[in-house]
Structure 1
Amino acid sequence: MLGLWGPSTTLGCEFRKCHIAFNVPLAELLAAGERLNAAGIQTQNFLGEKTIEPSVIGWMPSAQLYFCDRDGHSVEFIALLDEPPEPEFMGSLSEWKQQSHST
């Protein structure tokens, strides 16, 4: 479900930054960083650090990249990974792969 509020509605009176995530295939996620950066859009990892490499949240597990739209809203491209969860892991996709994951 997606809720959108216009400027003339009660919830749209004040500007607030929002977050939206799109589930994408891993291959698309891997290409997204370079493609977005080439278009002048800066990508970040989960911790807000500039990078084109997806970060991994181990408890899901998922790989993701973040960027902001023109209004400053947070946009996330996320790909769920097929490996078993590792609740303590938080790092880059390359670090995830180094730990014997097949992604």
Structure 2
Amino acid sequence: MKITGLYETHIQVRNLEESVNFYTKVLGLRIAHRDPNRPIVFLWVGTGKEYMLGLWQEEANFQPRHFAFRASKEDILNYAVDYLKERDLQPYNFLKDGVEKPMVFAWMPALAIYFNDPDGNQLEFIALLEGEGRPELGVMSYEGWLQQE
């Protein structure tokens, strides 16, 4: 048995309809299934049936989570910040230092930018970068990463 990827993840949301609207109309995911007996909606992520996100309405014991959407390096560098702002979403980097630019996790290496859904779940666009990880460099700007190459 070899695990070849992560197929689905589930998160809690406070208002299912508001979250379905956010993930479908704002981020462009598609409804896969709405459970008629439980407050849950499954959404397709990507083309076809590649990945799935489950939204569970939970008001009493709500706990925000984190997960990342895979994107291309080019999209993150050239479009992600504007894409988020056009949708009234606040982009932020891992350091939460007020800089609205993607950062590099040097240990992977990967480029990432963050934003929140309406319930405060921490979402991320991430792209793996070419080359070997450099954990000693920590988290840095993309420009700084390019200077290390």
TM-score range, shorter chain: 0.7 to 0.9
Aligned residue among 97, 101, 105 for 1:53: 101
Paired residues of 1:43 and 1:50 also in contact (CA < 8 A): no
Find out whether 1:94 has 2:143 as its counterpart. yes
Question: Unaligned 5+ residue runs, structure 1?
Answer: none
1:23 CA drift (Å): 0.9
Aligned residue among 53, 68, 74 for 1:27: 74
Q: How much identity, in percent, do the aligned residues show?
A: 34
Equivalent residue letter for 2:10: G
Larger strand proportion, structure 1 or 2? 2
In the aligned structure 2, how far is the partner of 1:48 from the partner of 1:39?
20
TM norm structure 1: 0.82
For the structure 1 residues 59 and 42, does the alpha-carbon distance in structure 2 shift closer, same or farther, using more than 3 Å as the test?
Answer: same
Aligned residue runs from structure 1 range 10-89, under 5 A:
12=58, 13-30=60-77, 31-89=79-137
TM norm structure 2: 0.59
Bigger CA radius of gyration: 2
Aligned residue pairs total: 99
In the aligned structure 2, how far is the partner of 1:72 from the partner of 1:26?
25
In the aligned structure 2, how far is the partner of 1:69 from the partner of 1:22?
13
Question: Unaligned 5+ residue runs, structure 2?
Answer: 1-7, 15-37, 40-57
Paired residues of 2:102 and 2:111 also in contact (CA < 8 A): yes
Where 1:16 maps in the other structure, the secondary structure is coil
In the aligned structure 2, how far is the partner of 1:88 from the partner of 1:32?
27
